[in-house]
């Protein structure tokens, strides 16, 4: 705290946090019009530079000469970070251009105070010291060998995003592979179980994740794969201990007994059983029922409209949260898809803005287009390492989008229950447009939308889709007859 600064404020008082923010704020002075630090305020609450506010405290860095808060020993926080990192990382002993680049990235951050606070944390300080001592190599194998923690993954993401470490094929796939290796190690006392689970994970889940596009291989898909693999492993262990049965000899009676004795999460073995059926004769196929929701929770249309109004008027909630909430409220997009939207999902046209979610784009209504435009100009979380990202909603970690769970928690400030809102929005939209056209607009499966229409009591909800399929089949030339 720079206690000697004399700040002119309209009400004569200011809290410590606002005082610190004012000292560090760069803006245009309301009196002289220059772009400088504006720690002062005039009687109308407008920002003033030091000279116009009558502040005589020295706010010039002795090291770089920039106008900034003097953080330590007469130096600004950027110079302090650079000096500290050079001492810790020793980029010239021996010379390492990657460490020099890391110093530049951290010191030139848009929020250097946050970087300095992060560096002082015990976990981050330990990792930086290991890099400086050269006991931690700059490669993914060395980071994989460390105990998994938020600090390790944060530093890895930072190094990867700024091209100091090579980019992984996909972060969630790489995380899934590391988890799978640990899970298979736990199953080593059951060799046949381990073998079957390894094949299921490799040829079903990993192949599906790798073949999908980047927007599909999300954290949600990887977590669903984990759950199916975990439940399949539990089932096979139960089968070996209770019935001394191998995976190849499973029968339907054993499956029914297992499902009847446990919770509904056991139904997640369904995909494993269907994968297993490909290795068995049709007469020996087995299955498990879907885990279906017993109810369809909804909100009223008035409540949904009130939530939209909250997004437009709650200026105390972050703009990125309000824009993401509007995409959820108006287009019924699931949180995992919202989190991984790219900036090019919003198209700027002379006639207005359009949102690309599937094969067909849709207009962004004029009342909310201003919020989308403002967010595009200055997305959040791009000042402390996550710079230059293509994500529409960047996360705290460099190069990564916001986590769906984070969005869900932030939506609570707007009164949004995500499951209820999505069900209500889908039901409302299916009453306005047929399932096939709506699927092309939102990216949903037409069958899911038809089911929402059916639950809403819409008569002949699949009729347009049926007509479309029939017209296509009529245009398709008939196959040539088989010659005997």
The three-class DSSP label of residue 346 is strand
Mean pLDDT over 10-24 rounds to 54
Q: Is the pLDDT of residue 462 over 80?
A: no
Nearest CA to 19 out of 2, 43, 37, 36 is that of 2
- pLDDT band for position 377 (cuts 50, 70, 90): confident
* Residue 478: predicted pLDDT: 42
Taking CA atoms, 298 is separated from 93, 188, 209, 418, in Å, by: 63, 46, 32, 10
Average pLDDT, the chain: 83
Mean pLDDT over 156-181 rounds to 84
Please answer whether residues 355 and 327 qualify as being in contact, where contact means their C-beta atoms are separated by less than 8 angstroms: yes
Say what the pTM is: 0.69
The three-class DSSP label of residue 8 is coil
What's the CA gap between 69 and 55, in Å, rounded? Answer: 13
CB atoms within 10 A of CB 104: 13
What's the CA gap between 437 and 464, in Å, rounded? Answer: 9
Joined tokens for residue 384 = 């402390």
| 301-430 belongs to CATH 3.40.190.10 | no
Kindly list the domain boundaries of the chain, sorted by start residue.
77-161, 171-284, 301-430
Q: Which helix (H) or strand (E) holds 348?
A: strand 346-349
Question: Computed from CA positions of residues 45, 27, 115, 218, in that sequence, does the dihedral angle turn out positive or negative?
Answer: positive
Lowest mean pLDDT among 369-378, 434-443, 458-467: 458-467
On the CB side of 297, CA atoms within 13 Å amount to 8
Please answer whether residues 307 and 329 qualify as being in contact, where contact means their C-beta atoms are separated by less than 8 angstroms: yes
Joined tokens for residue 50 = 């030091």
Q: Phi-psi bin for 90: left (phi > 0), alpha (psi -120 to 50), beta?
A: left
Q: Give the long-range contacts of residues 53-62, CB within 8 A, separation 24 or more.
A: 53/6, 53/7, 53/8, 54/6, 54/8, 55/5, 55/6, 55/7, 56/6, 57/2, 57/4, 57/5, 57/6, 59/2, 59/5, 59/23
CB atoms within 10 A of CB 322: 23
Please answer whether residues 122 and 128 qualify as being in contact, where contact means their C-beta atoms are separated by less than 8 angstroms: no
Identify the top-confidence range among 48-62, 94-108, 366-380.
Answer: 94-108
Helix then strand then coil, % of the chain, to nearest 5: 55, 5, 40
Identify the top-confidence range among 140-149, 154-163, 192-201, 292-301.
Answer: 192-201
CA 254 to chain centre: 40
Give the β-pairing of 40-41 and 35-37. Answer: unpaired
Lowest mean pLDDT among 104-113, 241-250, 389-398, 464-473: 464-473
Choice between 161 and 385, residue whose per-residue pLDDT is larger: 161
* Residue 256: predicted pLDDT: 92
Q: Is the pLDDT of residue 472 over 70?
A: no
The three-class DSSP label of residue 393 is coil
Cis, peptide link before residue 94, omega less than 30° from 0: yes
Q: Which residues contact 333 (CB under 8 A, 6 or more apart)?
A: 327, 357, 442, 443
Taking CA atoms, 302 is separated from 125, 253, 311, 367, 457, in Å, by: 51, 49, 15, 18, 20
CB atoms within 10 A of CB 243: 15
What's the CA gap between 275 and 93, in Å, rounded? Answer: 55
Residue position matching structure tokens 């009342």: 367
Q: Which residues contact 124 (CB under 8 A, 6 or more apart)?
A: 118, 151, 154, 155
* Residue 481: predicted pLDDT: 36
Q: What percent of the chain has pLDDT over 90?
A: 37
């Amino acid at each position: 705290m720079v206690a000697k600064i004399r700040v002119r404020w309209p009400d004569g008082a200011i809290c410590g946090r606002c005082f610190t923010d004012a000292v560090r704020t760069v803006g245009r002075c309301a009196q002289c019009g220059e772009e400088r630090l504006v720690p002062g305020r005039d009687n109308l609450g407008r920002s003033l530079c030091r000279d116009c506010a009558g502040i005589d405290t020295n706010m010039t860095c002795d090291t770089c000469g920039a106008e900034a808060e003097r953080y330590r020993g007469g130096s600004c926080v950027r110079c302090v970070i650079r000096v500290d990192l050079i001492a810790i990382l020793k980029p010239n002993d021996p010379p390492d251009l990657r460490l020099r680049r890391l110093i530049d990235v951290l010191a030139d951050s848009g929020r250097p105070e946050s970087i300095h606070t992060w560096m002082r944390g015990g976990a981050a300080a330990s990792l930086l010291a290991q890099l400086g001592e050269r006991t931690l190599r700059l490669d993914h194998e060395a980071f994989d060998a460390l105990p998994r923690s938020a600090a390790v993954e944060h530093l890895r993401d930072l190094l990867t995003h700024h091209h100091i470490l090579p980019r992984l094929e996909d972060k969630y796939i790489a995380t899934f592979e590391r988890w799978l290796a640990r899970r298979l190690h736990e199953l080593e006392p059951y060799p046949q179980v381990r073998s079957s689970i390894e094949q299921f994970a490799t040829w079903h889940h990993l192949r599906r994740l790798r073949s999908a596009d980047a927007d599909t291989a999300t954290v949600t898909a990887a977590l669903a794969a984990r759950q199916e693999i975990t439940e399949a492993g539990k089932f096979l262990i139960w089968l070996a201990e209770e019935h001394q049965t191998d995976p190849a000899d499973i029968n339907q009676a054993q499956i029914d007994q297992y499902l009847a004795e446990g919770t509904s999460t056991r139904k997640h073995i369904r995909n494993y059983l269907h994968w297993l059926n490909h290795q068995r004769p049709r007469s020996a196929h087995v299955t498990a029922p879907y885990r279906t929701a017993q109810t369809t929770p909804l909100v009223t249309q008035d409540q949904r409209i009130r939530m939209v109004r909250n997004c437009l008027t709650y200026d105390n909630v972050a703009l990125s949260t309000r824009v993401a909430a509007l995409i959820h409220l108006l287009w019924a997009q699931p949180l995992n898809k919202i989190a991984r939207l790219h900036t090019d999902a919003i198209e700027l046209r002379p006639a207005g803005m359009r949102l690309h979610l599937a094969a067909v784009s849709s207009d962004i209504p004029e009342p909310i287009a201003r919020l989308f435009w403002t967010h595009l100009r200055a997305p959040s979380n791009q000042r402390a390492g996550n710079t230059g990202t293509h994500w529409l909603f960047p996360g705290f970690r460099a190069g990564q989008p916001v986590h769906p769970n984070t969005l869900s928690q932030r939506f609570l400030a707007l009164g949004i229950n995500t499951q209820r809102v999505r069900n209500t929005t889908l039901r409302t939209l299916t009453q306005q447009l047929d399932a096939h056209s709506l699927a092309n607009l939102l990216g949903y499966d037409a069958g899911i939308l038809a089911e929402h229409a059916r639950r809403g009591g819409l008569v002949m909800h699949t009729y347009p889709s049926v007509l479309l399929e029939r017209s296509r089949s009529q245009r398709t030339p008939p196959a040539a007859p088989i010659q005997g």
